[in-house]
Structure 1
Amino acid sequence: MKNKALLFINGDAPKTIPDLSGYALIACTDGAFHYLEKLHFPLGMLDFISGDFDSRQIENEIIRQAQYYSFEIIETPDQNKTDFHKALELIIAKGFKNIDVFGASGGEQDHFLGNLSVAFFFKDKINLKFFDEYSSYYFIPKEFSIDNVKGKMISLMPFPVAKNIETTGLKWPLHHEDLMLGERIGTRNVAENQDVSIRYSDGDLLVFIGK
């Protein structure tokens, strides 16, 4: 049974449309709509488009397309939250806790950092994964394992601190060590085994898995 949602937001567009068959709900923010059109995305598969619709040109085009494809238009004018944050709230309200996100990185870097902040806010509420042309990345629980990653780049980014980290399967393993922004981070490691395990006792950790 499908229990996963897919969300496109306004960063760098994917070069190709991901496989849509595994998703029960597909949505985008108004800022991502322009690149979905350029990718010839099947708009009939969209469930909703949300955002503050601050561009009249984009809003008019979305309204025009909605007349043909019957997706829902949800205006979210609250300026105290980002369009990404508000879109996640809508998806969660529809009963989804597993959400894949494209378009979070690239573009203006303050947006990227803001998207990580939103992911941090929701990390204990939902299973959120980001995907771009270089990697997938997401916050991980205190005990975590990854399979089928031999030869891939694995980076561990504390947010801002992760303590007592122990890893297996990496070229440069960690043995009950701490990572901290501004002191030591764990970027550009490599998976030597197909399976990698990560454990830590305190803090928060963001993992990046190269393609």
Structure 2
Amino acid sequence: MSQKNTGIQMTGKALLFINGVPPKNLPETEDYAMIACSDGAFHYLKEKNFPLDKLDFISGDFDSHLGSDEAIYHDRFIFTPDQDKTDFHKSLEIIQERGITAVDVYGGSGGEMDHFLGNLTVAFLFKNELEITFYDEFSTYFFAPKNLILENVRGKTISLYPFPLTENITTKGLNWPLNNDTLDLSKRIGTRNFASEETVVINYGKGDLVVFVEN
């Protein structure tokens, strides 16, 4: 699946691991300008033999003890004790401050669902500054631009989730198309559609829309 997003100029992409369900397979790292993790994700990266020397920073309040690694990687720790923000939120702030415009996030879902909803809400707060894409074992998901093209998706489940209201949605390439329709979290959502063509086009006018694409 590839995604085309018109209107966002990338100056680099970050890879960020946070403390949800760890990915079964770690992504390739060569194309990232920055690699970072929360203090909780640091543990599963170590268990998966991730090359920790590739990390640009480790952010958190460090309530998860890091043991002997504290001495080795101490220069990469960024202590962020603000309890009014999640570790994910604070990591995105650091990434944004360093001039990155796009972030791939692993460990953002699974486990306790309040964490998942909280991470989605944090992504909403940054959606105008950062192009954030989540990856898990089931799907890729993100806040969609108003004009979105998905390629190589025939047969995949595509879900459209209003956040909380999305107006004037028109789609092409979905089995159940929308034609200038409205999705409303309190009335109608667009989950469990699927791509009947290789290319899916999604356009909308007002509001915000989360798109989930099956792996």
TM bracket (short chain): over 0.9
> d(CA) in 2 for partners of 1:62 and 1:115?
27
Task: Show the 5 A alignment for 1:138-157.
Answer: 138-157=142-161
List alignment gaps of at least 5 residues for structure 1: none
TM-superposition CA deviations, 1:133-185 (whole Å, max 9, x none):
10000001111111111111100000001011100000110011111112111
* 2:7 match: none
Runs of 4+ in 1 over 6 A off after TM superposition: none
Question: 1:153-172 to 2 correspondence within 5 Å?
Answer: 153-172=157-176
2:181 counterpart residue number: 177
Q: Does 1:54 align with 2:63?
A: yes
Deviation at 1:43, TM superposition (A): 0.7
Superposed, 1:186-197 pairs within 5 Å as 186-197=190-201
CA distance in 2, matches of 1:204, 1:44: 38
CA contact (8 A) 1:7 1:26 kept: yes
Q: Does 1:8 align with 2:17?
A: yes
Between the two structures, name the one with larger relative contact order (CA 8 Å, sep ≥ 6).
2
> C-alpha displacement at 1:41, in angstroms?
0.5
8 A contact 2:11–2:101 mirrored in 1: no
| Cα gap change, 1:15 to 1:2, in 2 (>3 Å) | farther
**How far apart, CA to CA, are the structure 2 residues paired with 1:22 and 1:191?**
28
Partner of 2:71: 64
- For 1:80 and 1:133, the matched residues in 2 are separated by 29
| Aligned residue identity for 2:71 | R
RMSD (Å) for aligned C-alpha atoms: 1.4
CA distance in 2, matches of 1:109, 1:31: 17
Unaligned ranges ≥5, structure 2: 1-9
Aligned positions, number: 206
- SS of the aligned residue for 1:207 comes to strand
Deviations for 1:22-69, whole angstroms, at most 9, x for unmatched residues? Answer: 1111000001111111111111111110101113x33x34413416xx
Alpha-carbon shift at residue 2 of structure 1 (Å): 7.7
Please give the alpha-carbon distance, in whole angstroms, between the structure 2 residues aligned to 1:97 and 1:22. Answer: 14
Structure 1-normalised TM-score? 0.94
Q: Secondary structure at the match of 1:18?
A: coil
| Counterpart position of 2:4 | none
Q: TM-score, normalised by structure 2?
A: 0.92
1:30 to 18, 39, 48: 39
Q: How does 1:114-129 map to 2 (within 5 A)?
A: 114-129=118-133
| Residue of structure 1 in register with 2:209 after alignment | 205
Give the Cα–Cα distance (whole angstroms) in 1 for the partners of residues 68 and 123 of structure 2: 29
